[in-house]
Amino acid sequence: MTSSLEDIWVYLAATPLLGLTLTLVAYQIAYWLYVRGGMHPLLNPVLVAVALLVTGLTVTDTRYQTYFDGAQFVHFLLGPATVALAVPLYAQFGKLRRLLLPLVAGLLAGATTAVGSAVVVGWLLGASRQTLLSLAPKSITTPVAMGIAEKLGGLPSLTAVLVVSTGVLGAVVAKSILDAIRISADSVRGFAIGVAAHGIGTARAFQISEEAGAFAGLGMGLNALATALLFPAAYHAFGFGG
């Protein structure tokens, strides 16, 4: 009995099917918990799914590479998903043109703060170079952040973890910060959340209002673009690349 179970496990562990299926099952469980928990930001489905999978892989003593052989099919979709961001961005084009100056001003200030403050604080507290490079793009959506980290010599998988953590933090703190400084326009509230906390923040902004959500989506897309274009250029211009 035990040995036949083991045979099945050995067979399954060698095919991509297991990693792929486990990813989807863990996400379904996490999403169910999130909805049941009233969409509390701390029950973020990514966070819960990752925790479930890490626990499962550790308990069964399965290597990450074995898991990723299957999960890479999900991971691969990050590329087309990034391209797909063009569609909602285009849908917001009318608003984008009307509020062009305030949006660009907020975007540039926010994008610079997001990268600059993370790197400076991390550096002051003694984080290693590789950690700093993985930390820098933490405010933008995962596929783009991972691409930047990979290009500049950070660790894409560490970046992914930091991006998710940033999103959860942003979703938890955003409302009280914006209330405290008395920003009431939903366009501004949403945009700030999207710039700081990408997709996870955007989901939170939709709970504030439809308008806040739309502007958060815009902030997420524009910051992905701004950071992807400006950060690698600045990095090379200031000679950190050498």
Partner 1 sequence: MIGAITVLLIYQLIGESLVVALGLPVPGPVVGMLLLFLTLLLRGGASPDLRDTAQGILQHLSLLFVPAGVGVMLHAGRVASEWLPILVALLLSTVATILVTAVTMNLALARVEKGASRDDE
Residues numbered 83 to 112 that lie near partner 1 (CB under 8 A) are 83-91, 93, 99, 101-103, 105-107, 109-110
Q: How far is the C-alpha of 35 from the C-alpha of 18, rounded, in Å?
A: 26
Nearer to partner 1, 4 or 24 (CB): 24
CB of 3 to partner 1, least distance (A): 28
Instruction: Please report whether residue 66 would count as binding partner 1 according to CB under 8 A.
Output: no
User: Which helix (H) or strand (E) element contains residue 222?
Assistant: helix 210-237
37-66: buried (b, 16+ CB within 10 Å) or exposed (e) per residue?
eeeebebbbbbbbbebbeeebeeeebeeeb
Which among 23, 27, 28 has a CA at the least distance from the CA of 71? 23
Minimum CB distance to partner 1 smaller for 12 or for 69 = 69
- The nearer residue to partner 1, 5 or 38, going by C-beta atoms, is 38
Report the distance separating Cα 89 and Cα 218, nearest Å.
6
Residue with tokens 């949006």: 103
| Residue whose token pair is 């009233």 | 38
Report how many residues bind partner 1 under the rule CB under 8 A. Answer: 113
Range 122-181, binding partner 1 (CB under 8 A): 122, 124-128, 131, 135, 138-139, 141-144, 146-148, 150-151, 155-158, 160-166, 169-170, 173-174, 177-178, 181
Identify the residue among 41, 67, 133, 213 touching partner 1 (CB under 8 A).
67
DSSP helix/strand/coil, 37: coil
- Give the shortest CB-232-to-partner 1 separation in angstroms: 4
- 206 lies in the binding site for partner 1 (CB under 8 A): no
Asked if residue 213 binds partner 1 (CB under 8 A), the reply is no
The answer to whether residue 214 forms part of the interface with partner 1 (CB under 8 A) is no
Nearest-angstrom CA–CA distance, 188 and 202: 13
The answer to whether residue 218 forms part of the interface with partner 1 (CB under 8 A) is no
CA distance 101 to 63: 50
Residue whose CB is less far from partner 1, 203 or 214: 203
